[in-house]
Structure 1
Amino acid sequence: MSTLMYLARRVLQAVLVILIVTVVVFCLLHALPGGPARGILGAQATAQQIAQFNHEQGLDKPLPAQYLYYLRTLASGDLGTSYTLNEPVSTLIVQRLPKTLVLTVLSAIVGLLLAIPLGMWQAVRRNKPFDYAITTLSFVAYATPVYFLGLLLVLLFSQVLPWFPAQAPQGDTLGQVLSDPAGLVLPVIAGAASMVAVFSRYMRAATLENLSEDYVRTARAGGTRRRAILWRHVFRNSLTPVTAMLGYYVPVLFGGALVVEQLFNYPGMGLLFWSAAQSSDYPVLLGCVLVISVATVVGTLLADILQRVIDPRVAGGRS
């Protein structure tokens, strides 16, 4: 299968998944106790007010017609209006999403920069004290809740050793957040810890698998230095499964951001979601769910494309 055909098929699959996501979000909206009208107008709304609201919003029409209208509003960027903040949900998300992306991308970069060499080093030193030590630390980091880890980081590096502030950077704009890099250190570490634990294990397993391949034995027999074999051949081939997992790890990153942002009072989309959950602000909750779902689909698509670039055999194997 050609690269173009492979990409076209993956894009079509991504569009189909996004449509399914819109169906799920639409159903969640109508599954609210008392319907969307009751959730928006509150428990004190009268039957007449609910009926009037349903008529104005087109909620008294057949469900297929409502879904088509919902798709049209989504296509225009209308995610509804927050009835606690009285602002369009799309505006709130546009303000908060870049900050969350900065946090998650930085966490992912730090996590991968640590996990990939650690995993390779573990594979090279398999069953040695270093391998056992990193494996133990990985299991501990993976099993430690993000919230608890964040509290430990605050106590250690903000209270005992006052190196970094306990609160993340504040501000309405992305520039204000980036102007305080010290405030990003603890949130990024908290977000990257589990990623280091998971991806170092994947990298270790992938490296061990490639070290046992015939091409490695052939290269060794030909006199190629061990370092050259590792970085010219094993490294690239070992990245393929790690890259594939990166796309599927996007929802985990966003889920961790929700906890990290609440703990460090970071003004991103996770904190917005948390506040909306506390006030039962359904339009904001559903808007965040939709955006995170789309981000997951896009992240998976990009991971598949990157995997195809790293290993052209991927498309042929899936055809």
Structure 2
Amino acid sequence: MAGYLIRRLGTAIIVVLGIALVTFLMLHIISPSPATDVLGQKASPAAIKAWNHANGFDRPWYDQFWTYISNLLHGDFGWSYKNNQTVNSMFAEKTPLSAFLSVSSVVVAILVALPLGIYQAIKRNTAGDVTATTLAFIFYSMPTFMVALLLIQVFALNLGWVDPNVSQNQSLTGALGSWQDLILPIISLSITQVASFSRYQRSAALDVLAQDYIKVARAKGLPERLVHTRHLVRNSALPMITLIGLSLPIVIGGNVLIEYAFNINGLGLMFINALQNDDYNVLMAYTLLTAILTVVGNLIADVLLSVSDPRIKLV
């Protein structure tokens, strides 16, 4: 296990550095310096030159990249010139709300998808299974922002059950004070995940139902309820561990369209604003954190699978 973790961590570091290099080069090619965005389009060449020199943007790109990586090793993601504050402080302000939305949506998706997938496997090819499968394909193929817009139109504008204007509280505590505003965003994030998770869960449950130990349990006269609870649920739930691990990047990347649609002051809306304002340090930090969470999520899923299933060996 220790050797496997060391190798995976080494690979993860190489992957993250590679992503950092590619992202840095892409942003450097698009615009070598944000001086014009900071000083304005009418800034004089002399002012731009002075600003670039003061902030190190007149140095070679590889020198700038090395400085950026050195700062990262000290936990410094740089300075947001547009917002006039550190990127670290911006993430500290907006991460709790985005994380709450993402974690809540994943929890809701698991609570719905796990029993739904098992039900579909047990009732295979029945009307209920066909209906659930059809809905899963529809919602899985729909863009997340389209789901959000439909929910806003139906439940906020047509029925008036919730307020379409989401609270602009930036803190998680403030947002929870208007918890009704978070219902539609969480449901919007959950629907597509339920569609995906339930399909995996159904497939896994069908594989388990075909195993010999299920047939032996039934041959011994064990009631179907016990067959399902003791053997089917536990063994078919293992693939969900992988899906949960792969869902970890949603904490950073999955909220972009939803937060934009509902105008929620989280990481997703911050990323959209950074794109519009060419706030490159924010874009770099967002990309790197998404990459780190992706690598960490895969690693956690592999470790949890090996712990849950002794048949899986990490080599």
TM-score for the superposition, normalised by structure 2: 0.90
How far apart are residue 126 of structure 1 and its match? 0.4
Cα RMSD over matched residues? 2.3
CA distance in 2, matches of 1:20, 1:121: 43
> Which position in structure 2 is the counterpart of 1:10?
8
Partner SS, residue 210 of structure 1: helix
Counterparts of 1:234-249 in structure 2 under 5 Å? 234-249=232-247
> Which position in structure 2 is the counterpart of 1:304?
302
How far apart are residue 225 of structure 1 and its match? 2.4
Counterparts of 1:47-62 in structure 2 under 5 Å? 47-62=45-60
Count residues in correspondence: 315
Amino acid at match of 1:271: L
> Which position in structure 2 is the counterpart of 1:197?
195
> Is the aligned partner of 1:171 residue 2:188?
no
Aligned partner of 2:280 among 273, 279, 282: 282
Between stretches 139-148 and 39-48, larger displacement belongs to 39-48
Between stretches 130-139 and 143-152, larger displacement belongs to 143-152
> Is the aligned partner of 1:29 residue 2:27?
yes
Aligned partner of 2:101 among 100, 103, 121: 103
Between stretches 144-153 and 243-252, larger displacement belongs to 243-252
How far apart are residue 60 of structure 1 and its match? 4.5
Partner SS, residue 292 of structure 1: helix
How far apart are residue 15 of structure 1 and its match? 2.8
Q: CA contact under 8 A between 1:169 and 1:178: conserved in structure 2?
A: no
> Which position in structure 2 is the counterpart of 1:91?
89
How far apart are residue 63 of structure 1 and its match? 4.5
CA distance in 1, matches of 2:5, 2:118: 30
Q: CA contact under 8 A between 2:252 and 2:289: conserved in structure 1?
A: no
Amino acid at match of 1:266: I
TM-score for the superposition, normalised by structure 1: 0.89
CA distance in 1, matches of 2:167, 2:304: 32
Partner SS, residue 126 of structure 1: coil
Amino acid at match of 2:239: P
> Which position in structure 2 is the counterpart of 1:161?
159
> Which position in structure 2 is the counterpart of 1:74?
72
Identity %: 38
Partner SS, residue 315 of structure 1: coil
How far apart are residue 155 of structure 1 and its match? 2.2
Aligned partner of 1:131 among 129, 132, 139: 129
Query: What whole-Å deviation, never above 9, does each CA across 1:266-300 have from its counterpart, x for those lacking one?
Result: 11010111122222322222222222222222222
Amino acid at match of 1:145: P
Q: Which runs of 5+ in 2 are unaligned?
A: none
How far apart are residue 46 of structure 1 and its match? 4.8
Partner SS, residue 85 of structure 2: coil
CA distance in 2, matches of 1:292, 1:310: 26
